[in-house]
Structure 1
Amino acid sequence: MCMIVFWLDSSLAQLMMTVVVIIQKLLEIFT
Protein backbone atom coordinates (compact mmCIF):
# COMPACT_ATOMS: atom_id res chain seq x y z
CA MET A 1 0.00 0.00 0.00
CA CYS A 2 2.84 2.40 0.86
CA MET A 3 4.29 1.96 -2.63
CA ILE A 4 0.91 2.75 -4.20
CA VAL A 5 0.64 5.94 -2.13
CA PHE A 6 4.18 6.86 -3.18
CA TRP A 7 3.22 6.41 -6.84
CA LEU A 8 0.11 8.56 -6.39
CA ASP A 9 2.26 11.30 -4.84
CA SER A 10 4.64 11.10 -7.79
CA SER A 11 3.87 12.37 -11.28
CA LEU A 12 2.00 10.25 -13.82
CA ALA A 13 5.10 10.26 -16.01
CA GLN A 14 7.05 8.39 -13.33
CA LEU A 15 4.23 5.85 -13.04
CA MET A 16 4.28 5.30 -16.79
CA MET A 17 8.06 4.78 -16.67
CA THR A 18 7.59 2.13 -13.98
CA VAL A 19 4.98 0.32 -16.09
CA VAL A 20 7.28 0.40 -19.13
CA VAL A 21 10.16 -1.11 -17.12
CA ILE A 22 7.92 -3.92 -15.83
CA ILE A 23 6.69 -4.69 -19.36
CA GLN A 24 10.26 -4.79 -20.68
CA LYS A 25 11.28 -7.23 -17.94
CA LEU A 26 8.30 -9.47 -18.74
CA LEU A 27 9.22 -9.43 -22.44
CA GLU A 28 12.77 -10.50 -21.56
CA ILE A 29 11.38 -13.46 -19.59
CA PHE A 30 9.06 -14.65 -22.37
CA THR A 31 11.53 -14.25 -25.24
Structure 2
Amino acid sequence: MVPRQEVVIEPRIYPFFCTGDTTTIDKDYP
Protein backbone atom coordinates (compact mmCIF):
# COMPACT_ATOMS: atom_id res chain seq x y z
CA MET A 1 0.00 0.00 0.00
CA VAL A 2 3.05 2.20 -0.39
CA PRO A 3 2.94 4.28 -3.60
CA ARG A 4 6.35 4.05 -5.27
CA GLN A 5 6.07 7.50 -6.78
CA GLU A 6 5.42 8.96 -3.33
CA VAL A 7 8.32 7.05 -1.80
CA VAL A 8 10.65 8.24 -4.54
CA ILE A 9 9.51 11.84 -4.19
CA GLU A 10 9.45 11.90 -0.40
CA PRO A 11 11.38 9.02 1.21
CA ARG A 12 10.53 10.38 4.65
CA ILE A 13 6.83 9.63 4.17
CA TYR A 14 7.62 5.94 3.79
CA PRO A 15 7.01 5.13 7.50
CA PHE A 16 3.90 7.31 7.29
CA PHE A 17 2.47 5.11 4.56
CA CYS A 18 3.60 1.96 6.35
CA THR A 19 1.49 2.84 9.35
CA GLY A 20 -1.29 4.25 7.22
CA ASP A 21 -1.85 6.99 9.77
CA THR A 22 -1.78 10.57 8.55
CA THR A 23 -0.95 11.89 12.00
CA THR A 24 2.16 9.72 12.19
CA ILE A 25 4.01 11.78 9.59
CA ASP A 26 3.33 14.92 11.59
CA LYS A 27 4.53 13.35 14.84
CA ASP A 28 7.60 11.67 13.33
CA TYR A 29 8.36 14.60 11.07
CA PRO A 30 7.13 17.86 12.62
Q: TM-score range by the shorter chain?
A: 0.3 to 0.5
Scaled by the length of structure 2, the TM-score of the pair is 0.32
Relative to its length, the structure with more helix (as a share) is 1
Scaled by the length of structure 1, the TM-score of the pair is 0.32
Higher normalized contact order (CA 8 Å, seq sep 6+, divided by chain length): 2
